[in-house]
Chain A
Amino acid sequence: MATGTEERVSAAPARRGAYARHRRTVPYWLTAPAGLYLLVFLVLPMVILVYTSLQSGGLFGGLRFSWAWENYTDGILQYKTQFLRSIVISGIVTVACLLLAYPMTYWIAFYGQRWKSSILLLILVPFFVSFVIRTVQWRFMLGDNGLIFGPLKSLGLLPQGFRVLATPFAVVAGITYNYLPFTALPLYVALERIDKSLVEAAKDLYASKWQAFRRVVWPLSLPGVFAAFLLTFVPATGDYVNAAVLGGPGTRMIGNIIQETFLHSVNYPLAAALSVVLMVAMLILASIYARVLGTEDETLTAAI
């Protein structure tokens, strides 16, 4: 009997030992599916993209890998205007989105009460319609003699030559409209998480409404602002649908250039090089931004 218990006792540590031995690797095994996913759908395409970007030649004579760094130098030199234009447009868009979304989500988070989720859903409703369809319908609304400007023109409130389509303004407005939900959601999450009693406490301590906002709500919502900025700025820079559909001469963005280089010029290496440049530029800008403005304890993921 004594031996029996001994056996059982000794068996337990053995099992525990096996677990202890694998303990360190278990989390890695658990992340393996995600890792594999990233490898196949992120790392591999990236490698292929960089590989393509260093090829020379064309589809007539065949592409050859030749460390063709000139794709990068040529691309940057040739299209620096469009790179810069994209960043400027995207910057304006992001600021406009924040200015629009902050009061909106603030109101929902603080005064929405039981309607909160319904109102939030309303912001998301346009998402149920395809991105391109949404952009194209702006053409109908903003047509020179369309739904909005037609009546205004016939009433004499606008000059006959007035137009919005095919201008930089239309492109900025279109992207702002399309990316607003990307700004609103992280902002809402951050604002919603703020303990409302903190505001009351601030007021108890004789803070004015404005002071309470500036000293309590705003700092606490910063992680949301940070995330919203990135989630809007990065995709907006690469957007090409709005410039193609709503723009005119002088509004082509780098996304359009990449598309045209790839599909129309069939210059795959140059298109790949431009894509890599855009990606790296975004990465650098985002990390500078994170360094300078990012909050330390609350990370991007926490806000989302």
Chain B
Amino acid sequence: MSEREERARVDGMLQEALRARLSRRSVLRGAGVGAAGLSLSSLLAACGGGGPGGEDGEGKPNPSEIFGQEPGPVVNFANWPLYLDQAKDKEGNVYYPSLKLFTKKTGIEVNYETVIQSNEEFFGKIQPQLAAGDPTGWDIIVITNGRQFNILKANGWVYELDPTRRPNFEANATPFARDPAYDPGNKVSMPWQGGFTGIWYDVNKTNGPITKLDDLANPDKVGRNSVGMLTADMPDFVMINLGIDPATSGPEEWKEAAKWLMMQRESGTVRQYYDQGYVDDMTAGNLTAGMGWSGDVVYYKLWAGYSNLEFVVPQPGEGGLLLWQDNMMVPVGAENPAGALMVMDWYYQPKIAAMVTEWVLYLSPCKGVREVILKDAEQALEDGYKGYANKLYQTAEAEVAFPSDETLNLAKFGTNITTDEQAQEWDAIFLPISQQ
């Protein structure tokens, strides 16, 4: 196999694609459009299926039976935009190298579509179908750990996976991807990619380096009206930085975090509470600092030339990071669950996972990716792609893409909300901060 040739071509295409690339989490330009167009229609749609969601009535389907079937010819894979390695063939058609290898190996086609712009919106679209017991049309969906994830799980709207049919996962999953608190034993989900929510700042705009949460509420350090906060992530992020583990938090701790957030709002430093799409303001220089997602900041800093951006990896005792993962799941009614699980497990081979990581720069749930990237860098250097090799080296060295154990120890998952009462209490405490 002319791997070298393929490599060189992919490399060229990669560079080209990257130049036009937005980050997976910051596609407000697209997401806003989607949200605006969709929320009304999904509002109407969802109301139609408002039947009793909670009952998982007729006994759970047996995983080994569902995943033991003969895999079908096509897997329908719904994912986020710009979340998979891409390349162009000679005719200029975009294809996904890592999926192409899968098809070559198994003969199963993958219909990969980037239809998920946000968890909320995608959930709003498929919820009525799931509640009515209709198939969603997807075999794999990717949802971040959080409320939507938990609702899918609690209602039995996703299949329990068969642990005997994911050998790569069992062998290669990283410790944080394995057995997470939101899905013990990875019963219904396997992480696709993960990342950290942390503090970023613009070294040219702040008054000295930003090192801890309190700096974001200090107008002398960050200025007035110039901090961007992430609405959904900020409660957990603040808790973690106040020394509270969200896993053991309750309303008392939530109120403490809300108090800090209210104090920050009154300090006058906040410019906007973002759902996503903070990247535009970050790169346009409208913000001095704020909360951000690790992959975004790494990408803009290392690959897009914004060397003035800095992602804060806190010193132990100075703060922490919020860890999240986007998880592959198989929705109930999927036509090809067996094929789906094969695709999911495919991405737990270091070589394949590295292809994705080199492109998306987030946290890989698969072990051994860093070694592959270093090897690729050597190879690129040998082939004479010096700039590309350098970027690969820098990526491999990036603390937030390949965190050390110390950094991982500072990172915690967010609060796991599993009942309606919790959800309402949480909303009552935190929503007023951004909504008032």
Known: A58-B424, A241-B32, A263-B124. A143 touches B39 (CB 8 A): no
Are A144 and B418 in contact, with the CB atoms below 8 A? Answer: no
Residues on B with C-beta less than 8 A from A215 are none
Q: Which of A31-39, A183-191, A266-274 contacts B (4 or more CB under 8 A)?
A: A266-274
Q: Which of A129-137, A193-201, A280-288, A294-302 contacts B (4 or more CB under 8 A)?
A: A129-137
Residues on B with C-beta less than 8 A from A90 are none
Query: In the complex, what's the smallest C-beta–C-beta distance from B13 to chain A, in angstroms?
Result: 28
Query: In the complex, what's the smallest C-beta–C-beta distance from B314 to chain A, in angstroms?
Result: 25
| Residue B171 interfacial (CB < 8 Å) | no
Interface size class of A (residues with CB under 8 A): 35 or more
Residues on A with C-beta less than 8 A from B420 are 57-61
Are A144 and B285 in contact, with the CB atoms below 8 A? Answer: yes
| Residue B2 interfacial (CB < 8 Å) | no
Residues on B with C-beta less than 8 A from A52 are 47, 50
Known: A146-B284, A249-B270. A265 touches B43 (CB 8 A): no
Q: Mark B221-241, 1 if CB is under 8 A from A, else 0.
A: 001110000011000000000
Q: In the complex, which of the residues A59, A146, A245, A249 contacts B151, with contact meaning CB atoms closer than 8 Å?
A: A59
**Which of chain B's residues 378-436 have a Cβ closer than 8 Å to chain A?**
418-420, 423-424, 427, 431, 434-436
Query: In the complex, what's the smallest C-beta–C-beta distance from B127 to chain A, in angstroms?
Result: 7
Q: In the complex, which of the residues B32, B36, B118, B436 contacts A81, with contact meaning CB atoms closer than 8 Å?
A: B436
Query: In the complex, what's the smallest C-beta–C-beta distance from A279 to chain B, in angstroms?
Result: 13
Residues on B with C-beta less than 8 A from A143 are 284-286
Q: Mark A243-276, 1 if CB is under 8 A from B, else 0.
A: 0110111101000110110111111100110010
Instruction: Determine the distance from Cα of A196 to Cα of B47 in the docked complex, in whole angstroms.
Output: 52
Q: In the complex, which of the residues A145, A241, A271, A272 contacts B36, with contact meaning CB atoms closer than 8 Å?
A: A241
Interface size of B by CB at 8 A reads 58
Instruction: Determine the distance from Cα of A55 to Cα of B131 in the docked complex, in whole angstroms.
Output: 16
Are B50 and A248 in contact, with the CB atoms below 8 A? Answer: no
Are B48 and A264 in contact, with the CB atoms below 8 A? Answer: no
Instruction: Determine the distance from Cα of A266 to Cα of B123 in the docked complex, in whole angstroms.
Output: 9
Q: Mark B249-292, 1 if CB is under 8 A from A, else 0.
A: 00000000000000001000011110100001100111000000
Query: In the complex, what's the smallest C-beta–C-beta distance from B412 to chain A, in angstroms?
Result: 22
Are B280 and A139 in contact, with the CB atoms below 8 A? Answer: yes
Q: Mark B143-162, 1 if CB is under 8 A from A, else 0.
A: 00001101100110000000
Q: In the complex, which of the residues B33, B53, B423 contacts A130, with contact meaning CB atoms closer than 8 Å?
A: B33
Known: A62-B55, A133-B33. A257 touches B418 (CB 8 A): no
Query: In the complex, what's the smallest C-beta–C-beta distance from B47 to chain A, in angstroms?
Result: 4
Query: In the complex, what's the smallest C-beta–C-beta distance from A253 to chain B, in angstroms?
Result: 10
| Residue B73 interfacial (CB < 8 Å) | no
Q: Mark B43-55, 1 if CB is under 8 A from A, else 0.
A: 1101110111111
Query: In the complex, what's the smallest C-beta–C-beta distance from A75 to chain B, in angstroms?
Result: 12
| Residue B121 interfacial (CB < 8 Å) | yes
Instruction: Determine the distance from Cα of A256 to Cα of B271 in the docked complex, in whole angstroms.
Output: 17
Chain A's closest residue to B154 (CB) is A60
Are A266 and B33 in contact, with the CB atoms below 8 A? Answer: no
Instruction: Determine the distance from Cα of A48 to Cα of B273 in the docked complex, in whole angstroms.
Output: 32
- Pick 8 A–B contacts, CB within 8 A, sort by A: A57-B420, A58-B423, A60-B154, A60-B423, A63-B50, A264-B232, A266-B147, A271-B43
* Interface set of B (CB-CB < 8 Å, partner A): 28-29, 32-33, 35-37, 39, 42-44, 46-48, 50-55, 118, 120-121, 123-124, 127, 147-148, 150-151, 154-155, 223-225, 231-232, 265, 270-273, 275, 280-281, 284-286, 418-420, 423-424, 427, 431, 434-436
* Interface set of A (CB-CB < 8 Å, partner B): 45, 48-49, 51-52, 55, 57-64, 79, 81-82, 130-133, 136, 139-140, 143-146, 161, 163, 165-166, 240-241, 244-245, 247-250, 252, 256-257, 259-260, 262-268, 271-272, 275
